[in-house]
Amino acid sequence: MSLLEVSNLHTHFISHDLNNNLRIAKGLNGVTFEVDKGEVVGIVGETGAGKSLTAMSIMGLLQPPARVVEGSVRFDGNEILGLPAEELNKIRGTELTMIVQSPLTSLDPLSRVGKQLVRAQREHRNISKDEAWAAGVETMTTVGIPDPERRMSAWPHELSGGMAQRVLIALALINGPRMIIADEPTTGLDVTVQAQILDLLQGLVRDRDMGAMIITHDLGVVAHYCTRICVMFAGSIIETGPVRRVFNDPRHPYTQALISSTPKRIAEKGYGQIGGPPPNLYALPAGCHYRDRCSRAAEVCHTSPLLQEIGAAHHARCHFATESSSESATVQHG
Amino acid sequence: MTDIAVTSPADPGFTWSGRILGITRRSPTFAIGFLIVALFAFVAVFANVISPFGAIETFSSKVLLPPGREFWFGSDGNGMDVFSRVMHGARFAFGIAVPSAIIMLVIGVPLGLIAGYKGGMIDEVVLRTMDVIRSFPSIVLALAVVAATGQSLVNVVLVIGFLDAPIFTRLVRSEVLALRSSGFVDSAVAAGNPTWRILFVHLLPNAIRGSTAMIAVRMAWAVRISATLAFIGVGIQAPTPEWGAMIRQGAEFIISGEWWVALFPGLALVGIVLGFNLLGDGLQDLLDPRRKATGK
Amino acid sequence: MVEPILRVHDLVKHFPGSQPGETIHAVNGVSFDLKPGETVGLVGESGSGKSTIGRCVLRLYKPTAGRIEFGGRDITTIKERQMRPLRKEIQIVFQDPYSALNPRMKVGNLIGELVKLHTDLDAAARRETVTALAARVHLNADLLTRFPNELSGGQLQRVCIARALATNPKVIVLDEPTSSLDLSVRAGILELLGELQRETGVSMLFISHDLETVELVSHRILVLYLGSVVEDGPSKAVFANPSHPYSQALLSADLPPDPDVVLDRKILEGEVPGPVNLPPGCPFAPRCPLVRPDCNAAKPGPSVIGEDHHAACVRVADGTNDIRNADANAEGDIHKKFQDQFIGRTS
């Protein structure tokens, strides 16, 4: 049993447009993955692929018109999907936490950092203010904030971007979570600061034997900080496997295109397949959703491909996944 | 939820009934407001045709009759039909609301565009001038100006338009300030657009959105203040079938028990002001869907 | 020797700060030339002044000091009215295509706007030009009647590029043109830019924080830190032999999207300080693992590393500029330095 088990998650945006037509955008179409203790799973994909939506669905943070219509999310073996808010809050923010994008807007601008750390603990546990304060200082130290006692009384606007992100991580860690979901934790931070934050996250997962899920669009982050990768496209995971395996032997044409479009690979092999517009989630094509952009598309792609096993823990949702990738690579770059 | 960027959804079709239902579902407020205003507009346009009597047609033998079969809303002190007069009053309501709204926009919007775009001294001067105009109690200022310049409908409209222009200046200016930081203004400058094109081709269509809801709200205000002016005897005079003037006329009779002379124009006034305000609120919901979740 | 089309000399740009009397030193004496058909990359983190330089070059900002020459003409202080006809020669593509296009104008009119402003073509001829431009940036012609919100990010960026190309400019400033796009779309945009440069010989000023992208597209690069050039040279030379400690740190912090690459990293402490109070000497001194007393004395001038390759570091002279050799000499100070970085804003 894994720490987090997401299976067959379907999230739709259901609304009526100005012409009173019912519109359904299929944001997630059967997302299945697991995150184990001590593991960092990287979720990559383009805008609209459903990366953040997956995180929001797991955390129960969806706002109408978004709604989970099917599927299951098990945390530590217990179903948490559809739990009432009070029940969910016993897990959310304590055992299962999330670090969101844009740290500066995610902190309460009207409370000092220390107060936010104390409040985050006292919401979940019966603990004195002094104890909570001490725990706050300790966590601030853990996340590498210098002079934590003084930082505790800082206002969020006094923090730099990297420091705010550390405070946010401290907030996520304060109740000793077992699983952390980080949505673009370093987007908007400078490269030199990004390295500091990622090192910190990786260290925490290792030391505390937590599970982590990092949502990112940066393949470099996945390559060096994740153990497993899930590639999303149009609300489905189209390829998953150990990072090294997937990078060296990608089987889904989208993964292949993604990896071949990094500057380094372009410099080596020239420009490959050009990405197209994202699929229309209101009218997803039957069969493979990548069909319209795929250089290998064939008649068989009008039927939905199943997740095919390629090797140990390496799966791809493509009819041609079991064929050797060198072949498809020539198709692409030739 | 930012993760979902849906492009060019296949349009599942447009029908008038669908559009009406769709809008009503998204903003019932808008639908109700629109209905009320449309009703008054209909009455205003067809007042001649649908009212049983003329607006100043007098029946000297039938003074101050209570509401009944002949005079639905009763008759006033001159023996005129209150119902017909209320209907004709709608013409004055729109006759004041629409032109004064146009004046507000014509004065207010360009000033807001220039102040927001140019900034600096120009901005300061425009803003302070607007502050001065707004800092007068508008009713007092309107009273003074109308009293000084002569009591005509045109003057009332001009004064109301002028007094409310600063509201649109401020609204448009703040929109422009927000738009300046979004890239397309820079990109318009870099393209070599002259200033007038930046203001009126690029900024105006984007900055006016927030003002559309306000237009309806200020129209309500225009109707109310013109009625107020007429009520205190400035501006439009009896026997013109203007609601404010009619309420003033009817006020004398309330003590003696003839309530209908003042009540019905009063109700009409409440109705149209409510209609405009609902319309304004509803427009805001429709134009800024983030304010409201759409699906229930 | 080819005359540069764009010459930037000792450019300085200050902004008033949020507090009265405070000055933001965004650009502090940057010089470079851009030759016809060349791509110069400006690399740096936030606060490096790279975007400000781009905007000064386009005269969207008025430089505080220095000189900008375009085609031999000094445009540093000319009025917008005089600048306007020049705008057809020097164009820009912004970072965020979603906000860079007027949402109330149709794509065809957006592309046609520049043709309308800078040529005398009639409506029919303009339409033809627009269709041709759309084809050149590989944009489907049926998108021309759509509004920007109906297009994807990649398509919108193609619209922006078509706009920039519409008047056959001599220089295009590309301000992070791919950073807000999805990875698979980025490659297509980069490919298009390369293709257009080969066809038209347009010069490009490519501004980015993404080292790998800059390396891919640029002939020469300038590494910027706090509004100063710390290293400049041919792209290949700078990436093969980064000589300024900051360039080394920046390159070592990069994460190549390949799990088999072994990272040899020297992670810097702290963050880029705000450009309000600049250090008296080398702007990088407070964060530099190799700092020594004379770094704070005066801003170091460029030292020659190789052909056309310079680094503004005092250690270049005696060859002690490799940060991997940074020893314990600074260790004792690290905690204090770290604090200064972060606490600078509160105290």
Q: Which domains does chain A have, with CATH numbers?
A: 4-248 (3.40.50.300), 252-334 (no CATH)
CA–CA gap between residue C275 and residue B29 (Å, rounded): 50
CA–CA gap between residue C140 and residue C146 (Å, rounded): 11
> Could you tell me the two tokens for A275?
């990405």
**What is the extent of the structural domain holding B128?**
28-59+69-291
Q: Which residue has the tokens 């952390």?
A: A180
Q: At a CB cut-off of 8 Å and minimum separation 6, what does A105 contact?
A: none
Scanning every residue of chain A, which has its alpha carbon at the shortest distance from the alpha carbon of B294? A15
Q: Note the pLDDT of residue C325.
A: 77
Weakest mean pLDDT among A281-290, A317-326, B49-58, B173-182 = A317-326
Strands A211-215 and A40-44: parallel
Beta partners for residue A309, in sequence order? A315
The ipTM of this complex is 0.85
Structural domain includes residue B11 = no
User: Looking at beta carbons, which residues of chain C come within 8 Å of A261?
Assistant: 183-184, 186-188
Q: Note the pLDDT of residue B231.
A: 86
Last residue of a domain, one of C117, C144, C168: C168
CB of A61 within 8 Å of any CB in chain C? no
Please say if the pLDDT value at position A99 is more than 70.
yes
Instruction: Give the CA distances from residue C229 to residues A1, B108, B270, C27, C29, in Å, rounded to whole numbers and listed in that order.
Output: 54, 47, 68, 9, 8
CA distance C229 to chain B (A): 26
CB of A280 within 8 Å of any CB in chain B? yes
Structural domain includes residue B256 = yes
User: Pseudo-torsion of CA C311, C313, C319, C325, nearest 10°?
Assistant: -110
CB of C196 within 8 Å of any CB in chain A? no
Q: Note the pLDDT of residue C337.
A: 44
CB of C330 within 8 Å of any CB in chain A? no
Structural domain includes residue C156 = yes
Structural domain includes residue C162 = yes
Cβ burial, residue B196 (10 Å; 0-12/13-18/19+) = exposed
Structural domain includes residue C276 = yes
CB of A281 within 8 Å of any CB in chain B? yes
Please say if the pLDDT value at position B175 is more than 70.
yes
Weakest mean pLDDT among A53-57, B95-99, B146-150, C183-187 = B146-150
Structural domain includes residue B99 = yes
For B197-254, the pLDDT digits (tens) are 999 999 999 998 888 889 999 999 999 988 888 888 877 777 888 898 888 888 888 8
Q: What is the mean pLDDT of chain C?
A: 88
Q: How does B158-186 read in b/e, with b if 16+ C-beta sit within 10 Å?
A: bbbbbbbbbbbbbbbbebbbebeebbbbb
Last residue of a domain, one of C127, C143, C168: C168
Strands A40-44 and A228-233: parallel
Q: Is C258 in contact with A217 (Cβ distance < 8 A)?
A: no
| CB contacts < 8 A (A, C) | 143
User: Looking at beta carbons, which residues of chain B come within 8 Å of C99?
Assistant: 182-184
Tell me the H-state helices in C101-208. Answer: 107-118, 123-136, 153-165, 183-200
Structural domain includes residue B96 = yes
CA–CA gap between residue A249 and residue A243 (Å, rounded): 10
Structural domain includes residue B227 = yes
Q: Is C253 in contact with A262 (Cβ distance < 8 A)?
A: no
Looking at the structure of chain C, the number of domains it has is: 2
User: Looking at beta carbons, which residues of chain A come within 8 Å of B3?
Assistant: 27, 47-53
Q: Note the pLDDT of residue C75.
A: 94
CA–CA gap between residue B113 and residue B198 (Å, rounded): 10
Structural domain includes residue C192 = no
Give, for A221, the enclosing helix (H) or strand (E): helix A219-225
Last residue of a domain, one of C168, C202, C220: C168
Looking at the structure of chain B, the number of domains it has is: 1
Structural domain includes residue C320 = yes
**What is the extent of the structural domain holding C331?**
242-343
The CATH number of the domain holding residue B95 is 1.10.3720.10
CB of C182 within 8 Å of any CB in chain A? yes
Structural domain includes residue C275 = yes
Please report which confidence band the pLDDT of residue C162 belongs to, taking 50, 70 and 90 as the band edges.
very high
